[in-house]
Structure 1
Amino acid sequence: MRDTIDFGIDLGTTNSAIAVVRDGSASVIKNNENWDFTPSAVWIPKQGVTYVGRRARDFVAADPANAHAEFKQEMGLDGAARFFRDAGIPLTPQQLSAEVLKSLRADAQHALGEPPQAAVITVPAAFRLHQNNATGEAAALAGFGNCPLVQEPTAAAFAFGFQNESTDACWMVFDFGGGTFDSALVTTHEGELRVLDHAGDPHLGGKLIDWAIVERLLVPAVEAELGLRDLRRDNPVWQRTFGVLKAAAEDAKIELSRTTSTNLMIELDVGGGDRRMFEHTLRRDDIDRLAEPFYLRAINLCREALTKAGLGPADVDKLLLVGGTTLSPTLRERLADPVEGLGIELDHSQDPTTVVARGAAVFASTVPLDRPKARPVEGEFSVDLRYPRNTSLTLVPVQGRFESTTAQDWTRLHVVLDNQNGMPPFRTPQVSLDAQGTFVTEVRVDERATSTFDVLLVDHNGMRRKVNPATVSITHVLNELGGQVLTNSLGLSEADGTFTPILHKGARLPAMARSTFYTTIALHRTDSDAVIRIPLVEGERARADRNLRIGLIEIRPKDVRIDLPGDSEVEITIEVDESRRVTVVADVPLVDEQFEAEIDLSRVQPPVAADLERELREVHGRLAALRDNRRVSAVARRKLDRLEGEQVLDTARDEVRAAATDPGSAAAADHRLRDIQAVLDEIEEEDQLNSLLAELDDEIRQCKDLLDRKGAADDLLELADIERRAADVRRNPDSATVDELIGRAVHLSTSVMRRDETFDIALFHHFRENMARLSQPMRARALITEGNMAIAQQNWRLLPEINHELRKLWPVGEPERSPGGVRSQNGRQR
């Protein structure tokens, strides 16, 4: 009987696979067509009839109304569903994924005679919480019990490394699959395999290359050869045609990994019931040209991961290739190149299409099955055993506690663990039980093998007693997986719109972190409309709205026993367990109350196509303005060049165009546009910071000129401190600090001018230079004329009165009222 999960599933965008660990090694379970993998496609031609796999994939193009694929990227989107016309039913991405999982489970049952009770299922490293949650829901719908999730690059690294003899090695996983890209930096040290960092893009995969082939090569050729018009992916008239072209593009891409050219002959529906043959030659060079931006983005993500980890390519021993896209010879050549790629030695010793499933199975062999604790029955003893299922140690501790239906003098019993089949055989000494029936001993296990020990319970007369469970199995591996890590930071959106992480990306799970914030408004129990809202956010971007909102804490007057003044302390605690279940609690010490966040991961809405089109136009405008901005730095120019080189905007435009008919493309477009906006935010903030630094330099110069003529000793000391801090802030730029220093410099020059009455002259000059901004133009012109005469007549007593009247004409914007939130100690509300 199994006591560990042992089964691992790679639930992929294009293909899925299941593997199992037996006798310490992982092997893929073939499906009923003797394939190592099953296409992630579902065909329901009529009610009650469901096909999964190759046959379903073939009908995605031939019968698009009743067959669907590539639904993984829609996981967790509320309202996303694929309709099966002839069966008259819609299925959510979770239900479709469940059909794929059921098929894999049936394959395992056929091969091994038992359906898996549970399995470890892989997810992309960049999957969000709602997507992980949806994957667990799909597993439950497929009839599995508890299914732990593991990131795909982590699983791949484990498959490469659990029996690898390298010590103190550093590897990078390069996982370019059908729908997602993931990379992970992994180290082995003293028998532990540890993930240092992840980087990835949940919408960067081989299917983008397929669609690029369709839209940039095949569609123009079809239009020219067959004379078709309005051949667009979002035009429902051509849905079947695009399905056929997409399937042909995918097959051609795979064939071109082994040859330099291939000839397509496709029968296409040209409308009006007519069908015509389309013939076209595709060359590897053409595919490589289209794939180049996607390769470049993947390589850049790997470079970022290396930089964040403080490593260079020379510090990484091998690049582990995972995913079908890595079969491309051009991509492999590019990766091996130290200038154009990463320059890390490639390791393609494992089958890139099944390595993730095998790694998941290896991890599964370390996870105990959820089963009821053994209870004693009459004439039998039960034992609760604690030991590692997998270990890199050869001498392993085992502890246990016996139970019986009758009272026992446990001290008159002893236990022996015996492995007669060991190499060599091993048997523990007799270990006496204590008064509670517990024991601790050590067993020796065979290297790189599974050692099974009989549990022998012997009484004081030397008689063996019946025990359940009767065996202990321990598998020796060279490297144990050192736990999983959080792949996206969790925190909150402050009142000024900034994102403050509390639990950071890379935290080892389970994890907990706590931070203190302060309310920005007061809560009076008499004001029923008042509310403090604390949005919870997942992501890495500085602006909260560029990340994903996952929950909300609300504090209302009815929730507190006394009035809560503004600037009250709120302590936020975020906890994530090994299954990535999130708990968030806000503790308000002043009222001694706790508020738990409402986190509903089933309510993430798919983006609206019209909103995506509006945002795409906004991105176009921002990009054009930044390209024309001569003040943009060389670093910012390189960021803009990277966006252009990776053709991120072109990809986003294609995804927005398909968003109206494809929720997966809508989700991808939303992700892509958020990424672009965040890069543009960084560039604009840098530009604003540069302007602030220039303003600070001007203010310091003015202070120097002024103090050279009339500054006191204290004034000179203050200026020296401003200059010292200005030098520091140029090395470590920070807008808030620059703002503060500008304010100090202005205050210093104002104070000096006030002492000799030149302040009012400078203030009047300011109003005069900005006369166009003043309200009541006729009144403003009259005051400016009066001020000019006062200065000409040196009537210094009249000038303050004129400035007072001009100040009344200065425009004052009323702040927009919004619900209160929280800020960090140094936060500023915008």
Structure 2
Amino acid sequence: MSQQINFGIDLGTTNSLIARFQNGTVEIFKNPFGQKETLPSVVAFRKDRIIVGDKARELIEKDPENVFSSFKRKMGTSESFFVPNSSDFKTPVELSAIVLRELRNFIYTGEKPDAVVITIPASFDTIQSNATKKAGNDAGFREVQLLQEPIAASLAFANKQVNAASLQGQWLVYDLGGGTFDVALVKIVDGEMRVTDHEGDNYLGGVDFDIAIIEKLVVPHLQQQGAYPELLTELRSARGKYNTLYHILLKKAEEVKVQLSNSPSAEIEFEIDEQDIYLTITREQFESVIYDTIQYSVDLVKKILDRNHLSAADIMEVVMIGGSTYIPLVKQLVTAQLDIPVNCSVDPTTAVATGAAWYAGTRSVSAPESPEKRQHSGAPVNIHFKTAYQKNTADKEEYFTAIVTGPVTGLSYRIVRADGGYDSGIKPLQERISEMLLLAENTNNQFNILVFDAAHHEISADTPVISITQGKFNIHGQPLPNDICIEIDDLENNTTKLELIFEKNAILPLRKTIVKEVMKNILRTGQDSLLIHVVEGSRYAVPGSCVPLGMIEIKSTDLLTDLVKGSDVEITLQISESRDLSVKAVLLMNEQEFSEVFNPQVRQINIGKLKDDIRQLYQKAAAKMKSFKSRQQYELAAAVQQIQEDLNQVSSRIDTISDDDVTDEKYQLEEKKRKLAQQLDSTGKDQQILEITEQYFKRKEYCLQTIREQEDDSRIARFEKITADESSYLSSQSYYTIKAKIDELDDLGWEIRRNKPETWINAYYYYASVTTDDYTDPQKAARFKDAGEKALERKNYDELKVVVNQLYHLLPDTKEGDQLKGTGIG
């Protein structure tokens, strides 16, 4: 029998909540101390105990060095926090686990859930997602399933509606929380909710507004009052003179922010150098320092609309989620600039937890086999069910049918609902079965198919679980937030490039097998290796601007025999709904297999490496700028110049960061660097695609003309096969995909041309025109030139082929710079 998870957690930057689904409704659990639904995501360490939540938050002013918050923003990083009271370090994962354990204490029913759904921002990459799962495991949950926050909010919104028919359109979820921002495009198809696209920023939220109050209002005020030339650095540095004050100011700034949502002004009071400071901050001042950030969030919404070719008329409404949407300016800008109705009908604070519980009510615990589990008699039977039914319905009964393959003679079946509310009775098993399944209302119904032998003993069979949600919406999988690619060699340009494996917004889970060619000989006696490097990011970016997820390194010492250039390696990649990545590489020639499951949980950010990356990007931008100007493409040159200016700003900000900086700015700058790298790669892309497309059509026409001259039906068939999916690869807007088709046409054309005498005659005249002294061995080149003249006189074209090939290999290598080490596959 399957068991539903039922428990959902919103692990937030500022506040966290836990909820449970039961009997078609969702309950938000309250803190037994104070009866509040929200638990501040704050952890304090005293000499003898750990304190979580409101009490921990109160200690910020008394003992800020031992109080930690906003650690969700550093999830998946190498950052750790020193705790003076315990003289050790705590990672974001460990601090998150403490919050999760505290939430378990909210469950007043005495239940000890073994599995839970935890929400994450839609833009969380695989590393951040895996770190969140580890926090859940460390908190005592054996099984953790992840759910993207906009999906959770959409479930809370949709399942609150009385009239489900009103949701047969598209809407946007605008989720501005304490530390992250997401916007998702959502629609319902056949009763299932689908997130069709999303954008977001993992470093945009209420915490940034608190920081803006400090850095743009409080610090300038203090500098006007006295001599504080390095005040900001002293506030932000862990060893800074005013670092304790910085944590106090963050708490006070948050309080001011909340007050300004309802009042025209608020006061902030604190002490510095035994001087009492009183500062009045108006809503107008506050809005002026956060305006650009809010505008950026609205621009991300517009980006989704533009990418999907949608206008305001195509969107029903914008659903506002997240505590930061209480700020009046947020609603004002969203309403004014998008011209789409804003819906604030769901509680911005609890919506994500509510949606997580709805989702948990449709998910089953993947419990391991236990001794108490029913024992089946007899050997397993090779029976397979191909089922068909509506997974979401407003009806009280649902038609179920299945095609059964395998030896069904003499067997019987029975379908029972997991809660015991429906039992089909025992019936003969046939090649096709059907039932009308009775559903419990407003909940997820799970049914099990049991198979019996002729003696009515239950036997083991491959039977799927039937899952039907009645009266409520479910989701059609979770979209992948970024492209997943592998890095391959681009020998023509002496660099590496990305090959797309899983596309952004593809629905998890995913699996794909590809075959790549080994690009170099790897000898067992050598030091070389083959790299299967998987990254997450934009397929159009340079590999270095993406997040590395895992690498299988096949060393020369791992090989049973030498690996020969041109042999094949079969690579299978699989990614689960909760973002576990498994990679398997099979060397087909050597019959060797290498595999690994990657669940990276930490991303290292090195300030020195970050500076070096910026310097390299700037050099690349300079080269692009020169190219665009030489072709008088001044608009593109201007775009690159703007990227250079942005790179300079990032570089300047990096220079101000101390080695012990306590903020998450270096992660923000690293994210900014990635986005600038992607912008730089895409600048001029349209022109590049236009040029390669024109080249494609020229090669296509030349190849077709060459084939027609030969009247070769077999090669015409090959030509038609190459160009059969022309509309698909041309519309892909992928330079490398179109270039690969050109290479295929060139290979086909060469097969024809190499048998024509004029091909070798023209080639010989070209090499003969090269000055003899320019060859690497002038004397040998002179002998081959003489042999070529004699072959022409005798019209011996086979001999002429040999001469041409020998002269080609005597030409000097014109490639400059170090040769690519690369990955070894391409």
Equivalence for 1:780:
none
Does the aligned pair in 2 maintain the 1:656–1:669 contact within 8 Å?
no
1:821 counterpart = 2:818: no
Q: 1:388-424: per-residue Cα shift (whole Å, max 9, x none)?
A: 998654214799xxxxxxxxx999x9999899xxxxx
Does the aligned pair in 2 maintain the 1:533–1:820 contact within 8 Å?
yes
Displacement of 1:85: 0.1
With normalisation by structure 2, the TM-score equals 0.73
Closer/same/farther in 2, CA of residues 351 and 636 from structure 1, 3 Å limit: farther
The alignment partner of 2:102 has SS state of helix
Letter matched to residue 75 of structure 1: M
In 2, distance between residues paired with 1:633 and 1:188? Answer: 45
Letter matched to residue 147 of structure 2: V
Q: 1:532-577: per-residue Cα shift (whole Å, max 9, x none)?
A: 1121111224211110111112233444444332122222211112
In 2, distance between residues paired with 1:60 and 1:619? Answer: 41
Q: Which among 261, 266, 270 is matched to residue 267 of structure 1?
A: 270
Letter matched to residue 676 of structure 1: L
Displacement of 1:158: 0.9
Letter matched to residue 528 of structure 2: A
Closer/same/farther in 2, CA of residues 417 and 140 from structure 1, 3 Å limit: closer
The alignment partner of 2:242 has SS state of helix
In 2, distance between residues paired with 1:287 and 1:230? Answer: 23
Equivalence for 2:476:
482
Equivalence for 2:114:
117
In 1, distance between residues paired with 2:823 and 2:191? Answer: 51
The more displaced of 311-320 and 388-397 is: 388-397
The alignment partner of 1:60 has SS state of coil
The alignment partner of 2:275 has SS state of strand
In 1, distance between residues paired with 2:685 and 2:252? Answer: 45
Displacement of 1:281: 2.2
Q: 1:762-794: per-residue Cα shift (whole Å, max 9, x none)?
A: 999xx9xxxxxxxxxxxxxxxxxxxxxxxxxxx
Q: 1:692-725: per-residue Cα shift (whole Å, max 9, x none)?
A: 89x99xx99xxxxxxxxxxxxx9xxxxxxxxxx9
Closer/same/farther in 2, CA of residues 145 and 623 from structure 1, 3 Å limit: same
Displacement of 1:634: 3.8
Equivalence for 2:4:
4
In 1, distance between residues paired with 2:95 and 2:485? Answer: 32
In 2, distance between residues paired with 1:145 and 1:277? Answer: 51
User: Which residues of 2 match residues 96-245 of structure 1 at below 5 A?
Assistant: 96-108=95-107, 111-164=108-161, 165=164, 166-233=166-233, 234-235=236-237, 236-245=240-249
Does the aligned pair in 2 maintain the 1:656–1:665 contact within 8 Å?
no
In 1, distance between residues paired with 2:422 and 2:203? Answer: 54
In 1, distance between residues paired with 2:414 and 2:23? Answer: 29
The alignment partner of 1:486 has SS state of coil
Equivalence for 1:468:
none
Letter matched to residue 564 of structure 1: L
Letter matched to residue 664 of structure 2: G
Does the aligned pair in 2 maintain the 1:531–1:819 contact within 8 Å?
no
Closer/same/farther in 2, CA of residues 163 and 529 from structure 1, 3 Å limit: same
Equivalence for 1:668:
668
The alignment partner of 1:267 has SS state of strand
Displacement of 1:375: 4.3
Does the aligned pair in 1 maintain the 2:265–2:282 contact within 8 Å?
yes
Q: 1:612-651: per-residue Cα shift (whole Å, max 9, x none)?
A: 344456667777998997655547756877998xx89868
Letter matched to residue 346 of structure 1: V
In 1, distance between residues paired with 2:652 and 2:615? Answer: 10
In 2, distance between residues paired with 1:624 and 1:277? Answer: 51
Displacement of 1:730: 13
Closer/same/farther in 2, CA of residues 524 and 113 from structure 1, 3 Å limit: closer
In 2, distance between residues paired with 1:509 and 1:735? Answer: 26
1:44 counterpart = 2:45: yes
Q: Which among 359, 384, 395 is matched to residue 397 of structure 2?
A: 395
Equivalence for 1:353:
349
Displacement of 1:154: 1.0
Identity %: 28
Does the aligned pair in 1 maintain the 2:44–2:68 contact within 8 Å?
yes
The alignment partner of 1:368 has SS state of coil
In 2, distance between residues paired with 1:37 and 1:292? Answer: 28
Letter matched to residue 359 of structure 2: F
Q: How many residues align?
A: 696
Does the aligned pair in 1 maintain the 2:9–2:118 contact within 8 Å?
yes
Residue ranges of structure 1 left out of the alignment (5+ in a row): 379-385, 400-408, 420-425, 456-471, 701-713, 715-724, 745-750, 768-803, 824-830
User: Which residues of 2 match residues 438-457 of structure 1 at below 5 A?
Assistant: 442-445=436-439, 447-448=441-442
Closer/same/farther in 2, CA of residues 648 and 809 from structure 1, 3 Å limit: closer
In 1, distance between residues paired with 2:579 and 2:72? Answer: 19
RMSD across aligned positions (CA): 4.9
The alignment partner of 1:484 has SS state of coil
Letter matched to residue 494 of structure 1: I
1:606 counterpart = 2:608: no
Q: 1:789-812: per-residue Cα shift (whole Å, max 9, x none)?
A: xxxxxxxxxxxxxxx9xx999986
1:363 counterpart = 2:368: no
Q: 1:311-359: per-residue Cα shift (whole Å, max 9, x none)?
A: 333222121111122122222121112xxx3222111111111110110
Does the aligned pair in 1 maintain the 2:513–2:570 contact within 8 Å?
yes
Q: Which among 518, 531, 534 is matched to residue 532 of structure 2?
A: 534
Displacement of 1:304: 2.6
Q: 1:723-775: per-residue Cα shift (whole Å, max 9, x none)?
A: xx9xx99997948979989x99xxxxxx99x99x9999x999xx9xxxxxxxx
Does the aligned pair in 2 maintain the 1:392–1:480 contact within 8 Å?
no
Equivalence for 2:34:
33
Equivalence for 2:783:
none
Closer/same/farther in 2, CA of residues 87 and 553 from structure 1, 3 Å limit: closer
In 1, distance between residues paired with 2:296 and 2:203? Answer: 12
In 1, distance between residues paired with 2:46 and 2:640? Answer: 49
The more displaced of 489-498 and 634-643 is: 634-643
In 1, distance between residues paired with 2:261 and 2:203? Answer: 22
The alignment partner of 2:231 has SS state of coil
In 2, distance between residues paired with 1:188 and 1:731? Answer: 27
Does the aligned pair in 1 maintain the 2:30–2:38 contact within 8 Å?
yes
Does the aligned pair in 2 maintain the 1:76–1:130 contact within 8 Å?
yes
Q: 1:562-605: per-residue Cα shift (whole Å, max 9, x none)?
A: 43321222222111123322111122322333221463514x44
Does the aligned pair in 1 maintain the 2:191–2:392 contact within 8 Å?
no
In 2, distance between residues paired with 1:524 and 1:624? Answer: 40
Closer/same/farther in 2, CA of residues 529 and 230 from structure 1, 3 Å limit: same
Equivalence for 2:569:
570
Larger of the two Rg values belongs to structure: 1
Does the aligned pair in 1 maintain the 2:531–2:824 contact within 8 Å?
yes
User: Which residues of 2 match residues 339-350 of structure 1 at below 5 A?
Assistant: 341-350=337-346
User: Which residues of 2 match residues 430-469 of structure 1 at below 5 A?
Assistant: 431-432=425-426, 442-445=436-439, 447-448=441-442
Letter matched to residue 498 of structure 1: K
Does the aligned pair in 1 maintain the 2:24–2:441 contact within 8 Å?
no
Letter matched to residue 40 of structure 1: S
Does the aligned pair in 1 maintain the 2:117–2:147 contact within 8 Å?
yes
User: Which residues of 2 match residues 59-74 of structure 1 at below 5 A?
Assistant: 59-74=59-74
Does the aligned pair in 2 maintain the 1:62–1:240 contact within 8 Å?
no
The alignment partner of 1:495 has SS state of strand
Does the aligned pair in 2 maintain the 1:626–1:632 contact within 8 Å?
no
Letter matched to residue 349 of structure 2: T
The alignment partner of 2:549 has SS state of strand
Closer/same/farther in 2, CA of residues 176 and 95 from structure 1, 3 Å limit: same
Equivalence for 2:487:
493
Does the aligned pair in 1 maintain the 2:123–2:182 contact within 8 Å?
yes
Does the aligned pair in 1 maintain the 2:611–2:654 contact within 8 Å?
no
Equivalence for 2:253:
249
In 1, distance between residues paired with 2:427 and 2:321? Answer: 50
User: Which residues of 2 match residues 585-604 of structure 1 at below 5 A?
Assistant: 585-597=584-596, 599=598, 601-602=600-601, 604=602
In 1, distance between residues paired with 2:732 and 2:127? Answer: 40
Displacement of 1:67: 0.8
